[in-house]
Amino acid sequence: MKTSELVTPPSRLVIASRESRLAMWQAEHVRERLTILYPQCDVKIVGMTTRGDQILDRTLSKVGGKGLFVKELEVAMAEGRADLAVHSLKDVPMELPEGFALAAVLEREDPRDAFVSNDYASLDELPAGAVVGTSSLRRQSLIAARYPHLVIKPLRGNLDTRLGKLDRGDYAAIILAAAGLKRLGLPQRIRALLPPETSLPAAGQGAMAIEIAERSDGLDLMAILAPLNHEATAQAVTAERKVSKVFGGSCQVPLAAFATVDGADMHLRAMVATPDGTRMASAEVRGAAADAEALGAQVAELLRAQDAEDILSSCLSEAAQAEADARSATLAADATAAAPGAAGDAAAAVPGKPAA
């Protein structure tokens, strides 16, 4: 008997989602799955703009990291405006707030990074000085280590925005998650898929997760959502997220963790590095997929033995300094704008307008 036949769903469920095209695709995918499982249940989607969607001029590592994409959705669940939230798992913090839990992890899409360019077929073809865009310190460090002749610049925005920046010539190439391109029907934009040996994926990359909040009405959302959970994917990302959690699970550090599951067996690889790729530690283990969390802890210990914490602490120090510099610049700009005569100075500087 199917799990869905053992539970009684409510008459209505509301899914909270970011409003980007990819996020809405993911929410719609979950809505369709739930509608098939529970045809008597009316499943709705509520789109929301998160702080992470609003900050486009700085990399995530400098503005608060993963939680920027989930907080507003969690508030909606806590206030009863939504019953569940659909996330790209790589955007979900390793530690959820009290009262929240991941109820299901769906079957993984392609977890690899994709090389996207209008003029070049691969990273190997890019000439010295070519500009490569990426939103990830992990990708930055891996590319810098293998291709030091390339210039790596930040790339923010949703998937369509990033592709638009490439198309207008801001970058010679950009690196994106293959999963997003495939889900939105854009596999033709992929010029090359980067193997894990070249670009080890981030923890949870390519996987979708459903988050829920504790309820007082007795509705068992865990049981309702259980049929959507893909066991092999859940095992893989459990191991990956354990590695990330041990080291703080922050966007401010270049960290990769990727597990594959073959039957009852798991192969887990992980890496930490400095953003410039000059220092790197890597480790891998094999074991039982049922021991996913223990394997993640084992890999973390192997990385620690290679001074991973020292590598990461240097990254955090650099990130903290960059954040402090950004705050100082903002305060200085605000002070200048508020200073007496600032408005007049600004007017005098406008081209074509005579100075006072």
User: Can you name the residues that pair with 39 across neighbouring β-strands?
Assistant: none
Classify 110 as helix, strand or coil. Answer: coil
Closest residue by Cα to residue 122 from 147, 85, 97, 100: 147
119 near 171, Cβ under 8 Å? no
306 near 337, Cβ under 8 Å? no
Q: How many whole angstroms from its chain centre is CA 306?
A: 26
C-alpha to C-alpha distance for 120 and 132, rounded to whole angstroms: 11
242 near 291, Cβ under 8 Å? no
144 near 277, Cβ under 8 Å? yes
Classify 107 as helix, strand or coil. Answer: coil
What number of residues does the chain have? Answer: 356
Residues identified as active-site: 91
Q: Return phi, psi of residue 82, to 5°.
A: -145, 155
Classify 130 as helix, strand or coil. Answer: coil
Q: Which long-range contacts (CB under 8 A, 24 or more apart) does 280-287 make?
A: 280/141, 280/145, 280/311, 281/306, 281/307, 281/308, 281/311, 282/200, 282/306
Tokens of 2: 């199917």
DSSP string, 49-84: --HHHH--SS-GGGTT-GGGGTHHHHHHHHTTS-SE
In the sheet with 100-105, reading across from the earlier edge strand, the strands are 42-48, 12-18, 84-88, 208-213, 100-105
Tokens of 188: 């033709």
The amino acid at residue 331 is L
